[in-house]
Amino acid sequence: METLGGAEFALDNTYLNTSSCGVLPRRAAAAMGRLIGELASGRPGGSGDAGTVSAARRSFARLAGVPEERVSAGSSLSVQVALIANSLPPGAEVLFPEGEYTSVVTPFAVRGDLVLRYAPLAGLAEAVRPGTALVAFSSVQSADGRIADLPAVRAAAAAHGARTLVDTSQSAGWLPLDAGDWDFTVTTAFKFLLCPRGVSFLTVTEEAQESLVPLHAGCFASDSWTIYGPVEDLASTARRFDESPAFVAYHGAVEALALVEEIGVPAIHAYDTGLARSFREGLVELGLSPLPGDSAVVAVPGLGHRVADLEKAGVTASDRAGNLRLAFHLYNSPADVTRALSLLAA
């Protein structure tokens, strides 16, 4: 059956685990293969093309709705979160949702001199108070796919003068989101953005950039490609926070992000959430109780133990915090919904 992703994907199973890792488009795999082949034969230009990093940055900036000058390219969520965690003064209060993803919380926790506070996701906005320095949370929760009340949190943070950090790893690529609404966003791109692992993006407002120290600055943070001695001309944009890139991953990322742009996040949102809605309705008909909502990620509490049975039958899902978690994306079809429901009914 035709899917929104079309011929770009060739899956051998019913893959409903994009919340863990997305499927590489064929064009991304081909680009990586070409570079690997060149590296194996002694590529004259070295390990990869820096232009691919710039192209990926521009593509992500368009998807995130911000100027490319606000985007820093990296390799992992925790490294970019740690940059923000290091910017806070001792004693600063950071507010998280209960059960927030580890890589969002731990860079703050290991400092040992910050005040960490937690609140239920549904009450996160109400928990912001005078003295809260930063609200750090995922737009879509990893454990169960719940979507945060983004307008309410943004308004509460603004009312109390708190900065905001949003992890969009579980939403970028299917949930329309304007990164410019937040002081910081961090995104691992190997999920719904379909990139290889080793690609991540940090967005920073111009004002918030002044609060960050480029702790891991190297050649890529320089405007003049300094390769010996300290960098003395750091980039004036968020590029000064770049990590040294994993070129093979970025060669694939350029192609994957281009595909997401071609199809468009609004179309992907409608498609993904439509499949998820059908799946939720089918679960209810089976007498099961999925968490309600309009997320592309569906969670059924207490059913995480069914993951192994589904895997044996060729359906890939995940067990998170006891939840059976299934994520629908542009390479899935209504037939995948039907198959997963039939197996759960057995």
Each residue's pLDDT, cut to its tens digit, for the chain (346 residues) gives 689 999 999 899 999 999 999 999 999 999 999 999 999 999 998 898 999 999 999 999 999 999 999 999 999 999 999 999 999 999 999 999 999 999 999 999 999 999 999 999 999 999 999 999 999 999 999 999 999 999 999 999 999 999 999 999 999 999 998 999 999 999 999 999 999 999 999 999 999 999 999 999 988 888 877 889 988 899 999 999 999 999 999 999 999 999 999 999 999 999 999 999 999 999 999 999 999 999 999 999 999 999 999 999 999 999 999 999 999 999 999 999 999 999 999 8
CB neighbours of residue 308 within 10 Å: 10
Closest by alpha carbon to 305, among 325, 289, 287? 325
Question: Which single residue is written with the structure tokens 């209504």?
Answer: 334
Provide the token pair at 278: 């059908």
44 to 40, 41, 50, 244: CA distances (angstroms): 11, 9, 14, 19
CA distances to 96, 181, 301, 326 from 167, rounded to whole Å, are 11, 13, 23, 20
Contact 327, 1 (CB under 8 A): no
AA identity, residue 51: G
Per-residue pLDDT tens over the stretch 72-120:
999 999 999 999 999 999 999 999 999 999 999 999 999 999 999 999 9
The answer to whether 318 and 144 have CB atoms below 8 angstroms apart is: no
Residues 6+ apart with CB under 8 A from 233: 222, 223, 224, 226
Backbone angles phi, psi at 142, to 5 degrees: -65, -40
pTM of the model: 0.97
**Sheet with 71-74: strands ordered across:** 71-74, 200-204, 184-188, 163-167, 132-138, 93-97, 115-119
Distance CA 90, CA 106 (A): 16
Rounded to whole angstroms, the Cα distance separating 130 from 281 reads 42
pLDDT at 1: 61
Tokens of 206: 């111009």
| 151-161 exposure pattern, b = at least 16 Cβ within 10 A, e = fewer | eebbebbeeee
